[in-house]
Copies of this chain bind each other. A is one copy, B any other.
Amino acid sequence: MINYNPKDWFVFIFRFTKSDTFLRLLPLLIGVGVYAGLVAYVELNYLAFSQNEHIRNVGLMHSVLGFVLSMLLVFRTNTAYDRWWEGRKIWGSLTNCSRNLALKLQACVPNPEDRLFFRQMISSYAFALKSHLRGNEDYQELDPVLDLSRKAHVPNQIAAAIFGRVNHLHQMGSLSAGQLLVLNDEIKVLTEVTGASERIKNTPIPFTYSVFIKKFIFFYVMTLPFGWSFSMGFYVIPVVMLILYAMASLELIAEEIENPFGTDDNDLPIDQICHNIQKHVGELLP
Which residues of A are in contact with B by a Cβ distance under 8 Å?
A: 1-2, 4, 6-7, 9, 12-13, 17, 19-22, 51, 54-55, 57-75, 77-79, 81, 84-85, 88-89, 92-93, 95-96, 99-100, 103-104, 106-108, 152-153, 156-157, 159-160, 163-164, 167-168, 170, 176-182, 184-186, 188, 191-192, 194-196, 198-199, 202-212, 214-216, 218-219, 223, 228, 231-235, 239, 242-243, 246-247, 249-250, 253, 255-258, 265-266, 268-269, 280, 283-284
User: Would A100 and B188 be within 8 Å (CB), given that A95-B195, A168-B107, A203-B88 are in contact?
Assistant: yes
B153 close to A283 (CB less than 8 A): yes
Residue among A72, A88, A192, A246 with max Cβ neighbours from chain B (10 Å):
A246
Inter-chain contacts of A60 with B (CB < 8 A): 59, 228, 231-232, 239
A176 close to B185 (CB less than 8 A): no
User: Would A280 and B6 be within 8 Å (CB), given that A54-B231, A107-B163 are in contact?
Assistant: no
User: Would A13 and B215 be within 8 Å (CB), given that A65-B242, A184-B182 are in contact?
Assistant: yes
Inter-chain contacts of A17 with B (CB < 8 A): 211
Inter-chain contacts of A12 with B (CB < 8 A): 210-211, 214-215
For A64, give its contact among B63, B106, B195 (CB under 8 Å): B63
- In the bound complex, what is the Cα–Cα distance between A192 and B21 (angstroms)? 36
Prevailing SS type, chain A contact patch = helix
This protein's copies in its complex: 5
For A58, give its contact among B2, B164, B239 (CB under 8 Å): B239
For A4, give its contact among B74, B96, B177, B207 (CB under 8 Å): B207
- In the bound complex, what is the Cα–Cα distance between A153 and B185 (angstroms)? 23
For A208, give its contact among B179, B258, B266 (CB under 8 Å): B266
User: Would A61 and B242 be within 8 Å (CB), given that A104-B163, A207-B4 are in contact?
Assistant: yes
Inter-chain contacts of A85 with B (CB < 8 A): 79
Inter-chain contacts of A61 with B (CB < 8 A): 239, 242-243
- In the bound complex, what is the Cα–Cα distance between A233 and B47 (angstroms)? 15
